[in-house]
């Protein structure tokens, strides 16, 4: 089959489903085999703590609740009818540098903000609190290599800026120590990526074909070597070489696995450049609009300026667009792994914008909130309900993604069933090794939400309390192993996954 | 057949390609290529728990690609690795020479002619201009060398220690190792890396299959600095200070490692003294940093030997490296360290017995940890094991995780730490105070020599001793130590040049 011109397809309208996916169409016809619906993986992160010791119903369900998702924090999942496609894991712990946790993998140093990014996302113990430079390979990168070798993970960041200081290029996607993948944070740029990927050049097609051919060539030589070795070995060692051959065959199948899928429209997504500019560019408000970017030093002098110490750049709208693009990228099989950084750790996003403080009858309409950032909310136990709402704001994006994927099918299976989405957060509630026994500056009692992956073997539709105070990275690892169909896969120092989930 | 350990693999890659993976490719997690042993097995050589998985192959593939990319990153580097200039018209000759050399080193045998031909012809096919080649890729030797490096680094004979041979004419249950298998076994044991050219030459020419022939090479190898590094690695893994970087700063870890390395080098190699001096030595190698922490006078001119002013300190048990990694602040952990690692007497962990492991943390038992530890004695469920370990730890509690002496618990001046402990050995229970006296007690205990032999067997064989044959190997090493007056170097030499080292037992189900 002749490679397809995707731009022609795009311009012709997204109303018709594409018969063959982009990458599959680029492969030589001789390489095509029976399509097997591949898995997808999403690592989502929110920079907030979850008050899991707050009254039941805010984040964790009360005992005997009909639906574990019918809480303030998880309501987006409940409302979209995704309870059976979701799992909530609570009681998780990232250990810190203390004799109490000596020998445990993926520990953090004792200062809170940022110190958990590396152990959480890459499973590697941290030695500093710089959460913006991860010394390890993050879950999305591991999974991209596993699910679509040679295709980088998609990386989006919803929060436009740190809003307090000059941190640039913040990312949760790393290919190795310091090897940061700068995420897209402009929806219009992300959309341009998408369209140009669909119209990939002939050179790119040839490059990938050559890469696959070379990979096979190496594998053939290795197999030849293994065969020679097998003839020299005794029976006991032959059993080992048999296991080796089994893995080689898996490896070979992976090389041969066609990148498949169907590429269809997303309802309501702006497909016309002009329409997109209206929607997307209109929300880039660094230069004005509703809430300007704050002064770098946080001292504009205007006490009434909502952005005096906090910031907002229409992150809600940005998030929705990124989620829709991500779903489309999965449907078109442009990527099989993605990271979605919803907010920065220690997020200084404007609380008033998230909670719509200026709207009439808002229960949180207080002057105190006007100047608050979402980070400050977490410091008072009295704000547990607000924190649950803030969590819901984050959950809303992954729920929206799950809903989109549920409506897409591939090889007759909803895409959501072969996609594992995990939302993890910065903290939980409990002890802080630098002081305090009941504080959100803690990595005790953390939660993770898993959505999708039913066909991958994930056990969904339940609230699971970590029986051994497992590491949240082990929840990630369960989703990773399910998506990769490989129980030997590891995440940094983490060698065991959260077994109640898989 | 076991896979190379991470340590062995990285050294082998450097030997083959000059690429220092840890510094040049820091993003690679190569641990999955050789691990899986339980915590009670201390060495990275354990093969009994290794299983080939897709993950290990994926990691090997990624690593091989990355190393190959480094090798072909510039004409200068490529020429250095190939050992010749692959100029136009000389590509086949140059690549062929590289393949002969690198193939023999990586697979520890000469390539078969047909095997060589196949690899070389595929490499030369890669050398031809390819549609779709990445921008900047120069056809010719670059992709060809890339192919050869990738294949060699993923080859099962490179990644594994293959021990082939022929059945013994005297005993069908014994396999007499091939000369190349002996070369690999010897090099990995004494150096932790692949055989050098001299050893491979001997193996290929068939002069590495008698005890005398092996002894000749072993003597040479034990005089090489790589043997010192390997003996240090054995002790670091056995005693747990290989994970020093996880518990102290990099600078302090460097000082601590230097102290311990100096003592091991001195006792085992420089003076060829009895091994137990590692437990009793009254002098140690210090730099200013460590001397300050220990409260000892620093050597006048840079790092150097210092004699302990008091017998409270002595030997490895006084070293920051050991104190930092053996459960500082916990009498139980310190006691367990001595019991399990130095006496080879594993105990059941609380997970295996029905006791309340949090009982000792009950604040009602007292403010001080030593008071609360009474729960270990008062609770019969705890006492059966803890009476064997806590008393040992009490005698070491005053030495903190950096090796400094402290008399009270951290941040609790009202909680004095015990000074005295006791250890129960075959000869009875003896009180002691501090690592020096404990080291001297252990040095006189036959259990410790037996444990050294047992741990060395595990390090060498990559498995725990599970049969009478294994036990005979352990006792043979005990005997070798005895005959050498307790000196490790000659015992090592005797062991590797014994007939047993040249054979291996054929598993019951195995037929060659």
Residues of B in contact with A236 (CB under 8 A): 506-507, 509-510
* Percent with pLDDT over 90 in chain A: 34
Q: Residues 167 to 226 of A: which have CB under 8 A from any B CB?
A: 175-179, 203, 205-211, 214-215, 217-218, 221-222, 224-226
B55, A486: Cβ pair inside 8 Å?
yes
Distance in Å, alpha carbon of B422 to nearest chain A alpha carbon? 24
Residues of B in contact with A254 (CB under 8 A): 54
Range A388-412 average pLDDT: 91
Encode B440-474: b = buried (16+ Cβ within 10 Å), e = exposed. Answer: bbbbebebbbbbbbbbbbbbbbbbebeeeebeebb
Per-residue pLDDT at B352: 43
B156, A241: Cβ pair inside 8 Å?
yes
B26, A488: Cβ pair inside 8 Å?
no
If you count residue pairs, one on A and one on B, with CB atoms under 8 Å apart, how many are there? 132
Range B290-307 average pLDDT: 93
Per-residue pLDDT at B151: 96
- Secondary-structure percent of chain B, ordered helix, strand, coil, rounded to 5: 55, 10, 35
Token digits for A371? 């100047």
Of A178, A244, A250, nearest to B156 by CB-CB distance is A244
Least confident of A77-86, A260-269, A289-298, B86-95: A289-298
Least confident of A39-48, A159-168, B45-54: B45-54
Of B156, B506, B507, nearest to A225 by CB-CB distance is B156
Per-residue pLDDT at A40: 96
Per-residue pLDDT at B505: 80
Confidence of residue B1 (pLDDT cuts 50, 70, 90): low
For the ranges A307-316, B246-255, B500-509, the maximum mean pLDDT occurs at B246-255
Q: What is the CA radius of gyration of chain A?
A: 23
Least confident of A178-182, B61-65, B347-351, B374-378: B347-351
For residue range A439-479, list pLDDT tens digits in order.
Answer: 888 899 999 999 999 999 999 999 999 999 999 999 999 99
Alpha-carbon distance A88 to A58, whole Å? 13
Per-residue pLDDT at B240: 92
Token digits for A73? 């924090």
Confidence of residue A168 (pLDDT cuts 50, 70, 90): low
The better pLDDT of the pair B331, A10 is held by B331
A235, B510: Cβ pair inside 8 Å?
yes
Query: Is the separation of the CB atoms in B141 and B78 below 8 Å?
Result: yes
The separation between the first and the last C-alpha atoms of chain B, rounded to the nearest angstrom, is 13
The better pLDDT of the pair B290, A151 is held by B290
Least confident of A160-174, A192-206, A302-316, B22-36: A302-316
Alpha-carbon distance A287 to A335, whole Å? 33
Residues of B in contact with A178 (CB under 8 A): 26
For the ranges A46-60, B268-282, B353-367, the maximum mean pLDDT occurs at B268-282
Range B288-316 average pLDDT: 94
Give the dihedral sign, CA B403/B409/B413/B414: negative
Residue of A nearest to B249 (CA): A127
Mean per-residue pLDDT over chain B, rounded? 87
Instruction: Give yes or no for residue B480 having a pLDDT over 90.
Output: yes
Distance in Å, alpha carbon of A486 to nearest chain B alpha carbon? 7
A234, B115: Cβ pair inside 8 Å?
no
Instruction: Give yes or no for residue B507 having a pLDDT over 60.
Output: yes
A235, B27: Cβ pair inside 8 Å?
no
Per-residue pLDDT at A99: 74
A222, B154: Cβ pair inside 8 Å?
yes
Residues of B in contact with A203 (CB under 8 A): 132
Per-residue pLDDT at A291: 40
Per-residue pLDDT at B97: 96
The angle formed by the CA atoms of residues A227, A233 and A239, to the nearest 5 degrees, is 80
Per-residue pLDDT at A20: 28
Question: What number of other Cβ atoms are within 10 A of residue B28's Cβ?
Answer: 19
The torsion of the CA quartet B288, B289, B291, B292, rounded to 10 degrees, works out to 110
Range B468-474 average pLDDT: 88
Whether residue B379 lies within 8 A of chain A, CB to CB, comes out as: no
Per-residue pLDDT at A302: 46
Taking alpha carbons only, the member of A72, A62, A52 closest to residue A394 is A72
Per-residue pLDDT at B213: 96
Residues of A in contact with B26 (CB under 8 A): 176-178
Range B463-467 average pLDDT: 85
Alpha-carbon distance B214 to B208, whole Å? 6
The better pLDDT of the pair B88, A13 is held by B88
Least confident of B48-62, B296-310, B375-389: B48-62
Query: Is the separation of the CB atoms in A26 and A200 below 8 Å?
Result: yes
Distance in Å, alpha carbon of B29 to nearest chain A alpha carbon? 7
Residues of A in contact with B107 (CB under 8 A): 225
Confidence of residue A360 (pLDDT cuts 50, 70, 90): low
Confidence of residue B463 (pLDDT cuts 50, 70, 90): confident
Residues of A in contact with B53 (CB under 8 A): 247, 486, 488
B1, A176: Cβ pair inside 8 Å?
no
Per-residue pLDDT at A27: 31
Token digits for B75? 């004409």
Query: Which element (helix H / strand E) includes A465?
Result: strand A462-465
Residue of A nearest to B120 (CA): A221
**B228 contact partners, CB below 8 Å, separation of at least 6:** B261, B264, B265, B268, B269
For residue range A278-300, list pLDDT tens digits in order.
Answer: 444 444 333 323 343 333 333 34
Residues of A in contact with B60 (CB under 8 A): none
Residues of A in contact with B327 (CB under 8 A): 99, 102
Whether residue A28 lies within 8 A of chain B, CB to CB, comes out as: no
Whether residue B131 lies within 8 A of chain A, CB to CB, comes out as: yes
Whether residue A363 lies within 8 A of chain B, CB to CB, comes out as: no
B56, A247: Cβ pair inside 8 Å?
yes
Per-residue pLDDT at A275: 53
Query: Is the separation of the CB atoms in A395 and A18 below 8 Å?
Result: no
B126, A177: Cβ pair inside 8 Å?
no
Taking alpha carbons only, the member of B436, B456, B444 closest to residue B501 is B456
State the residue for tokens 């290794």.
B50
Whether residue B22 lies within 8 A of chain A, CB to CB, comes out as: no
Distance in Å, alpha carbon of A139 to nearest chain B alpha carbon? 13
Instruction: Give yes or no for residue B353 having a pLDDT over 50.
Output: no
Confidence of residue A21 (pLDDT cuts 50, 70, 90): very low
Whether residue B246 lies within 8 A of chain A, CB to CB, comes out as: yes
Alpha-carbon distance A53 to A430, whole Å? 8
Range A185-198 average pLDDT: 76
Residues of B in contact with A177 (CB under 8 A): 26-27
The better pLDDT of the pair A297, B389 is held by B389
For residue range B194-209, list pLDDT tens digits in order.
Answer: 999 999 999 999 999 9
- How would you classify residue A108: left for phi > 0, otherwise alpha for psi between -120 and 50, otherwise beta? beta
Least confident of A228-232, A350-354, A395-399, B201-205: A350-354
Domain boundaries of chain A, sorted by first residue: 43-426+451-501
Residues of B in contact with A226 (CB under 8 A): 156
Q: Residues 434 to 473 of B: which have CB under 8 A from any A CB?
A: none
Query: Which element (helix H / strand E) includes A425?
Result: strand A419-427
Give the dihedral sign, CA A488/A491/A493/A495: negative
Instruction: Give yes or no for residue A371 having a pLDDT over 70.
Output: no
Encode B55-72: b = buried (16+ Cβ within 10 Å), e = exposed. Answer: bbbbbbbbbbbbbbebbb
Distance in Å, alpha carbon of A425 to nearest chain B alpha carbon? 24
**A9 contact partners, CB below 8 Å, separation of at least 6:** A18, A198, A263
Taking alpha carbons only, the member of A106, A18, A7, A137 closest to residue A474 is A106
Alpha-carbon distance A53 to A58, whole Å? 9
Per-residue pLDDT at B349: 59
Of B115, B154, B330, nearest to A99 by CB-CB distance is B330
What 3-state class would DSSP assign to B59?
A: helix
Instruction: Give yes or no for residue A35 having a pLDDT over 70.
Output: no
Per-residue pLDDT at A245: 77
Whether residue A249 lies within 8 A of chain B, CB to CB, comes out as: no
Confidence of residue A17 (pLDDT cuts 50, 70, 90): very low
Confidence of residue A365 (pLDDT cuts 50, 70, 90): low
For the ranges B39-48, B121-130, B292-301, the maximum mean pLDDT occurs at B292-301
Per-residue pLDDT at B232: 98
Least confident of B7-11, B273-277, B412-416, B457-461: B412-416
Whether residue A278 lies within 8 A of chain B, CB to CB, comes out as: no
Query: Is the separation of the CB atoms in A477 and A491 below 8 Å?
Result: yes
Q: Tell which of A222, A251, A253, A490 to mutate to test the B interface (max B CBs under 10 Å).
A: A222
Instruction: Give yes or no for residue A14 having a pLDDT over 90.
Output: no
Of B27, B54, B327, nearest to A176 by CB-CB distance is B27
Q: Tell which of A118, A208, A225, A239 to mutate to test the B interface (max B CBs under 10 Å).
A: A225
Distance in Å, alpha carbon of B429 to nearest chain A alpha carbon? 29
User: What is the interface pTM, i.e. ipTM, of the complex?
Assistant: 0.80
Per-residue pLDDT at B358: 47
Of A210, A234, A248, nearest to B130 by CB-CB distance is A210
Per-residue pLDDT at A15: 27
Whether residue B294 lies within 8 A of chain A, CB to CB, comes out as: no
Confidence of residue B469 (pLDDT cuts 50, 70, 90): confident
B132, A241: Cβ pair inside 8 Å?
no
DSSP state of B442: H
Question: What number of other Cβ atoms are within 10 A of residue B32's Cβ?
Answer: 18
Range A237-260 average pLDDT: 67
């Amino acid at each position: 089959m002749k490679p397809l011109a995707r731009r022609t397809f795009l311009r012709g309208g997204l109303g018709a489903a594409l018969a063959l996916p982009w990458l599959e169409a680029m492969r030589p016809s001789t390489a095509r085999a029976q399509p097997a619906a591949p898995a997808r993986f999403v690592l989502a992160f929110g920079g907030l703590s979850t008050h899991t010791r707050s009254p039941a119903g805010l984040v964790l369900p009360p005992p005997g609740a009909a639906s574990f998702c019918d809480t303030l924090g998880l309501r987006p999942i409940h409302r979209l009818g995704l309870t059976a496609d979701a799992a909530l894991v609570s009681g998780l712990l990232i250990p810190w540098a203390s004799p109490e946790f000596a020998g445990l993998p993926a520990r953090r140093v004792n200062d809170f903000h940022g110190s958990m990014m590396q152990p959480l996302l890459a499973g590697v113990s941290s030695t500093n609190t710089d959460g913006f430079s991860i010394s390890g390979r993050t879950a999305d990168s591991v999974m991209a290599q596993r699910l679509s070798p040679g295709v980088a993970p998609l990386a989006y960041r919803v929060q436009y800026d740190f809003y307090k200081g000059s941190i640039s290029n913040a990312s949760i996607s790393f290919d190795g120590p310091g090897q940061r993948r700068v995420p897209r944070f402009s929806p219009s740029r992300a959309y341009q990526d998408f369209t140009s990927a669909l119209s990939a050049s002939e050179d790119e097609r040839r490059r990938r074909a050559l890469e696959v051919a070379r990979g096979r060539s190496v594998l053939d030589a290795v197999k030849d070597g293994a065969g020679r070795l097998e003839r020299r070995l005794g029976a006991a060692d032959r059993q080992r070489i048999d296991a080796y051959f089994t893995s080689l065959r898996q490896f070979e199948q992976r090389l041969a696995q066609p990148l498949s899928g169907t590429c269809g429209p997303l309802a309501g997504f702006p497909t016309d450049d002009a329409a997109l500019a209206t929607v997307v560019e209109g929300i880039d408000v660094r230069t004005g609009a509703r809430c300007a970017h704050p002064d770098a030093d946080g001292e504009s002098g205007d006490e009434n300026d909502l952005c005096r110490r906090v910031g907002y750049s229409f992150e809600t709208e940005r998030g929705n667009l990124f989620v829709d693009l991500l779903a489309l990228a999965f449907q078109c099989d442009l990527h099989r792994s993605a990271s979605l950084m919803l907010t920065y750790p220690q997020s200084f996003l404007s609380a008033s914008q998230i909670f719509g403080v200026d709207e009439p009858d808002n229960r949180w309409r207080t002057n105190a909130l006007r100047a608050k950032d979402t980070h400050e909310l977490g410091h008072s136990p009295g704000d547990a309900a607000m924190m649950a709402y803030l969590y819901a704001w984050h959950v809303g994006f992954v729920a929206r993604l799950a809903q989109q994927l549920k409506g897409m099918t591939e090889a007759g299976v909803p895409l959501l069933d072969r996609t594992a989405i995990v939302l993890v957060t910065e903290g939980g509630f409990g002890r802080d090794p630098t002081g305090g026994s009941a504080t959100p500056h803690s990595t005790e009692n953390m939660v993770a939400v898993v959505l999708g992956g039913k066909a991958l073997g994930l056990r969904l539709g339940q609230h699971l309390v970590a029986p051994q105070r497992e590491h949240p990275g082990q929840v990630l690892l369960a989703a990773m192993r399910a998506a990769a169909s490989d129980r030997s896969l590891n995440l940094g120092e983490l060698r065991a996954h959260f077994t109640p989930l898989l | 057949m076991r896979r190379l350990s991470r340590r062995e693999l990285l050294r082998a890659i450097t030997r083959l390609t000059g690429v220092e993976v840890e510094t040049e490719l820091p993003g690679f997690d190569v641990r999955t290529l050789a691990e899986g042993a339980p915590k009670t097995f201390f060495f990275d050589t354990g093969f009994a728990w290794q299983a080939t998985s897709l993950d290990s192959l994926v990691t090997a593939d990624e690593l091989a690609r990355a190393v190959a990319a480094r090798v072909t990153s510039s004409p200068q580097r490529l020429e250095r690795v190939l050992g010749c200039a692959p100029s136009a018209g000389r590509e086949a000759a140059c690549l062929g020479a590289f393949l002969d050399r690198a193939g023999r080193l990586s697979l520890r045998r000469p390539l078969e002619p047909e095997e060589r031909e196949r690899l070389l012809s595929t490499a030369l096919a890669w050398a031809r201009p390819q549609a779709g080649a990445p921008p900047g890729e120069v056809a010719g030797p670059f992709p060809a060398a890339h192919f050869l490096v990738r294949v060699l680094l993923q080859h099962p004979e490179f990644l594994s220690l293959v021990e082939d041979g022929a059945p013994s004419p005297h005993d069908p249950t014994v396999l007499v190792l091939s000369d190349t298998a002996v070369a690999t076994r010897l090099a990995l044991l004494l150096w932790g890396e692949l055989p050098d050219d001299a050893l491979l030459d001997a193996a290929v020419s068939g002069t590495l299959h008698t005890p005398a022939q092996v002894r000749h090479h072993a003597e040479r190898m034990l005089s090489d600095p790589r043997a010192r590094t390997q003996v240090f690695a054995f002790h670091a893994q056995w005693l747990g200070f290989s994970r020093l970087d996880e518990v102290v700063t990099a600078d302090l870890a460097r000082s601590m490692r230097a102290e311990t390395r100096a003592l091991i080098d001195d006792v085992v190699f420089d003076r060829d003294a009895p091994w137990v001096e590692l437990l009793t030595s009254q002098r140690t190698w210090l730099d200013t940093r460590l001397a300050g922490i220990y409260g000892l006078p620093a050597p006048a001119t840079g790092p150097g030997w210092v004699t302990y002013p008091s017998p409270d300190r002595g030997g490895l048990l006084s070293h920051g490296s050991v104190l930092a990694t053996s459960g500082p602040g916990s009498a139980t952990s310190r006691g367990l360290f001595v019991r399990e690692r130095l006496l080879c007497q594993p105990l059941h962990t609380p997970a295996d017995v029905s006791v309340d492991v949090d009982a000792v943390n009950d604040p009602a038992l007292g403010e001080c940890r030593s008071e609360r530890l009474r729960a270990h004695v008062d609770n019969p469920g705890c006492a059966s094991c803890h009476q064997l370990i806590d008393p040992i730890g009490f005698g070491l509690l005053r030495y903190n995780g950096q090796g400094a002496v402290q008399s009270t618990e951290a941040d609790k001046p009202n909680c004095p730490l015990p000074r005295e402990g006791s250890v129960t050995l075959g000869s009875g229970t003896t009180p002691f105070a501090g690592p020096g006296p404990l080291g001297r007690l252990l040095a006189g205990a036959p259990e410790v020599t037996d444990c050294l032999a047992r741990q060395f067997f595990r390090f060498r064989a990559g498995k725990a001793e599970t049969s009478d044959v294994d036990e005979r190997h352990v006792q043979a090493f005990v005997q070798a130590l005895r005959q050498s007056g307790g000196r490790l170097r000659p015992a090592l030499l005797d062991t590797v040049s014994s007939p047993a080292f040249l054979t291996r037992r054929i598993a019951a189900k195995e037929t060659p």
